[in-house]
């Protein structure tokens, strides 16, 4: 949990695309992210594989001396559609268990450009923060304006009263890696009073409520 002196980050979970398509600006940002993590002695947690932007981040982090942990569902590992995991690998049974395991091993989360999987992951972890399940910082690296439309959409959601302004601030946006990491480390959560009374100390109760919420959607 963040305090007055900021948030200590030893392990960052990175979400981003595994598509083999690599735009120059995105690839440069992925490589720069690795250098910053290495310089600050921050280790990497990710969803396994070695393709696309996430492959570039994980490979460069591993070669740079950072500890790298890839967490991958067994079904994906068997068909080898996202490549071989870099560093240490943990295999789990489902996608939801992968998210649980990445959450358990990470102190903060960053999303680079990506597709549906990346968006699902970042909103999944953000919705947990909104429910007061955790206070870990969450950031989007807005490379070359990639997330500009998402920023505008979140403004629209607030305007339509489907999201509070305090909940919107759960996700931190920055255009450079250094700025984003600095903001994540300085993060102090704003806790919505409407959810502050929820007690998540029992892990099994937390998982049951999350499942109930998912089934009700």
Write out pLDDT tens, residues 165-175. 889 999 999 99
pLDDT over 60 at 5, yes or no: no
Residue 209 counted as domain residue: yes
Task: Please give the pLDDT value at position 161.
Answer: 95
Q: What is the mean pLDDT of the chain?
A: 86
pLDDT over 80 at 134, yes or no: yes
Structural domain of 93: 11-216
Q: What is the DSSP letter of 115?
A: -
Angle CA 11–88–182, to nearest 5 = 15
CATH number reported for the structural domain that contains residue 32 in this entry: 3.40.50.450
Q: Helices in the chain by DSSP H: which ranges?
A: 24-39, 52-63, 74-79, 95-105, 116-130, 148-159, 165-168, 177-185, 203-216
Residue 66 counted as domain residue: yes
Residue 57 counted as domain residue: yes
Residue 2 counted as domain residue: no
Helix (H, G, I), strand (E, B) or coil at 32: helix
Q: Which of 35, 31, 13, 14 is nearest to 22 (CA)?
A: 31
Residue 1 counted as domain residue: no
Q: Which of 153, 147, 152 is nearest to 174 (CA)?
A: 147
Residue 124 has a CB neighbour count (10 Å cut-off) of 16
pTM of the predicted structure, to 2 decimals? 0.85
Split into its structural domains, the chain has a count of: 1
Residue 39 counted as domain residue: yes
Task: Determine the average pLDDT of the residues in 106-115.
Answer: 94
Task: Please give the pLDDT value at position 176.
Answer: 93
Residue 170 counted as domain residue: yes
Q: What percent of the chain has pLDDT over 70?
A: 88
Task: Please give the pLDDT value at position 4.
Answer: 39
Residue 3 counted as domain residue: no
| Alpha carbons 129 and 132: distance in angstroms, whole number | 5
């Amino acid at each position: 949990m963040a305090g007055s002196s900021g948030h200590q980050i030893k392990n960052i979970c990175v979400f981003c695309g595994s598509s083999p398509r690599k735009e120059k600006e995105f690839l440069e940002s992925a490589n720069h992210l690795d250098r910053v993590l290495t310089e600050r002695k921050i280790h990497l947690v990710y969803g396994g594989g070695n393709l696309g932007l996430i492959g570039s981040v994980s490979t460069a982090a591993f070669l740079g001396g950072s500890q790298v942990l890839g967490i991958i569902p067994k079904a994906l590992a068997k068909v080898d559609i996202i490549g071989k995991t870099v560093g240490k690998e943990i295999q789990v049974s489902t996608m939801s268990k992968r998210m649980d395991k990445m959450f358990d091993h990470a102190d903060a989360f960053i999303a680079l450009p990506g597709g549906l999987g990346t968006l699902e992951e970042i909103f999944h972890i953000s919705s947990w923060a909104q429910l007061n399940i955790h206070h870990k910082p969450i950031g989007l690296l807005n490379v070359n304006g990639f997330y500009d439309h998402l920023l505008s959409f979140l403004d629209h959601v607030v305007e339509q009263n489907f999201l509070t302004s305090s909940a919107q601030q759960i996700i931190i946006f920055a255009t450079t890696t250094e700025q984003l990491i600095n903001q994540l480390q300085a993060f102090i959560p704003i806790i919505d009073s409407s959810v502050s009374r929820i007690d998540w100390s029992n892990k099994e109760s937390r998982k049951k409520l999350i499942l109930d919420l998912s089934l009700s959607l």
